[in-house]
Amino acid sequence: MAKLYFYYSSMNAGKSTTLLQSSYNYQERGMNTLVYTAAIDDRYGIGKVASRIGISQEAQLFHEKSDLFNEIQQQHQNQALHCILIDECQFLTKTQVYQLTEVVDKLNIPVLCYGLRTDFQAELFEGSRYLLAWADQLEELKTICYCGKKANFVIRMNEKGEAVCDGEQIQIGGNDTYLSVCRQHYKEKTKC
C-alpha cells in the first residue's frame, strides 16, 4: 500500500538533496516521478528543485489554489506515476495536504513531502501541521547546531546578523538569512 511520508527538518539539512536522490532511484528503475515545489520559492528560477550540492530537476509549481489531487490524477491517466515528491511542503494548505492523502488512498501512489517543521518564531507552518497530523510516516532529517547538538529550530537574521523576532512567516526577496540551531541556542539568541 502506498503511504504519505513527511520528511521534516530545519534549514540546510539536505532536504532537496534527499528528494532528488529518491526521485532518481525511482527513475533508475524505469518508474515515473512527479516533482513539485512551491511557487513561492523562486531561488533557482521557475519550476526547479536544486540542491546545495549542485544537482537539480525540473518541477511543477504549486500555489495556494492548486488542486493537487486533480492535477496528479490527470497526469496519472496520461502516464502512470509511481511516486510524487513535494519540496517546500510547509507551504501546502490544509486542503492540499488532504488532497495528497487522497492521492495515496484513492490512486495508490506514494507521496513524499519534504519541508520545514517550524518557522523562525518556532511555530508550525500550515502544511507541516497537517502533515504531522495525517502522514503515515514521519522522518526527521537531522542537521546540527554550531554547538554540535541537533538543530531543530530556525533563526531569521537581518543583514547585521541579529536575530529577528517579528515579521511575516514567509518573506520573499528579503536580505535575511537563516540559521539552524538547537533549542537552547534558539532561546538564547531570540530573547524577544
User: Binding residues for Zn ion, how many (CB under 5 A)?
Assistant: 5
C-alpha to C-alpha distance for 101 and 108, rounded to whole angstroms:
10
* Per-residue contact flags (x/-) with Zn ion for residues 118 to 157, judged by CB under 5 A: ---------------------------x-x-x--------
C-alpha to C-alpha distance for 64 and 84, rounded to whole angstroms:
18
Q: Is 38 in the site for Zn ion (CB under 5 A)?
A: no
Closest residue by Cα to residue 181 from 190, 173, 168, 172: 190
Catalytic residue among 28, 88, 123, 188: 88
Look up 162 and say whether it is catalytic.
Answer: no
| Number of C-beta neighbours around residue 146 at 10 A | 11
CB of 170 to Zn ion, least distance (A): 25
CB of 184 to Zn ion, least distance (A): 6
* DSSP E strand stretches across 3-77: 4-9, 33-38, 48-50, 56-58, 60-62
Q: Is 100 in the site for Zn ion (CB under 5 A)?
A: no
* Chain residues that interact with Zn ion, rule: CB under 5 A: 145, 147, 149, 182, 185
